[in-house]
Structure 1
């Protein structure tokens, strides 16, 4: 697994490493409040309680800092997905319980981290490093949930279960991401309809997995 320092110059002493860790945390806190393009490095340094010299001693500018922040943030997000998958595996049994739990679990994690993820996704169109790391993280995290559905294979009637699960997960993620505005500055869905969306996506996934095409 990469560390945040994979996109930053190595520290010469422990104090430098601690200062950079505070910069990482300050950046994440700031991203929860507003998009990265609206945040200045001076604001981040002030929030972290370090000088701008401490920041430029580790990275060349905002792009490199965001890459370092993404590494740290996605590592934590991966741990959250692992914990949620373990919780679902313990509490949900059978397709009728697992599917809503998976849809809800994915939605919960996306919603809680939407503000930070939005900045990564917006930047990914111009930064292949950001884009590649984001895709890899999403694939790994979705696989954790897909395996939970695969474990209910005896209940899946679709003749191509792996394909059906993958298609369902893709649709669920795209719908939730769109609702939360991960591809734009703000969310596009009415917040009061979030639970309705989760219910609808769960029903659609269940129906598709148990659907037998005529062809």
Structure 2
């Protein structure tokens, strides 16, 4: 995913690339540890063994460094999501099984990346560039899931299948995001049983799609 900002100055030499990677890794580690972006570039430099001058050679500000971390994280998350969706597609024999497999895959992928997704979503509430990148990532996965569900259109009994699969995905994502404490839902993180949440989400969404009411 290309960054949605223009101030990143990509390194060209091998030594510069190594320094750049340490900056990204240090900022990522601090985001994981703090659960937010409440750290300084001095801390990034100390953790990554790079000078403040080197950081400013690559980024105009701490904001741009965090946006670069987000771009890297979203690349990994999206790749994992798409791989999980492909596995669900290969294994599912019918709509109900597909929904159950998709819920499992989406939930576990987001949980695996929750330590970085959580502070990024928190930042998205105040940073329009981070917000736009997150929305773009969400839309990419949502479109893939909706398209896959609609390959089972003959099993969907809702009067408007397109609307139904869109609503189902929104419910799935919102419930998982709330459990993981994404965005403004940090106070609700880890409430309830994770396994039961996944099972109930899958069953409810499959039943909804296959209901004519």
Instruction: State the TM-score, normalized to the length of structure 1.
Output: 0.89
* 2-structure distance, mates of 1:20, 1:3: 15
**Map of 2:177 onto structure 1:** 177
* 2-structure distance, mates of 1:38, 1:58: 20
* 1-structure distance, mates of 2:5, 2:45: 17
Distance 1:93 1:44, change over 3 A: farther
> What's the Cα RMSD here?
2.1
Is structure 2 residue 193 aligned with structure 1 residue 193? yes
When the two structures are aligned, how many residues end up with a matched partner? 213
* 1-structure distance, mates of 2:3, 2:131: 17
Aligned pairs (5 A) from 1:144-183: 144-183=144-183
* Structure 2: unaligned runs, 5 residues or longer: none
* 2-structure distance, mates of 1:86, 1:7: 35
**Map of 1:110 onto structure 2:** 110
Distance 1:50 1:146, change over 3 A: same
* 1-structure distance, mates of 2:56, 2:33: 23
SS in 2 for 1:57: helix
CA contact (8 A) 1:34 1:115 kept: no
SS in 2 for 1:32: helix
* 2-structure distance, mates of 1:33, 1:210: 43
Distance 1:175 1:7, change over 3 A: farther
SS in 2 for 1:28: helix
Distance 1:103 1:114, change over 3 A: same
CA contact (8 A) 1:27 1:44 kept: yes
* 1-structure distance, mates of 2:71, 2:6: 8
* Structure 1: unaligned runs, 5 residues or longer: none
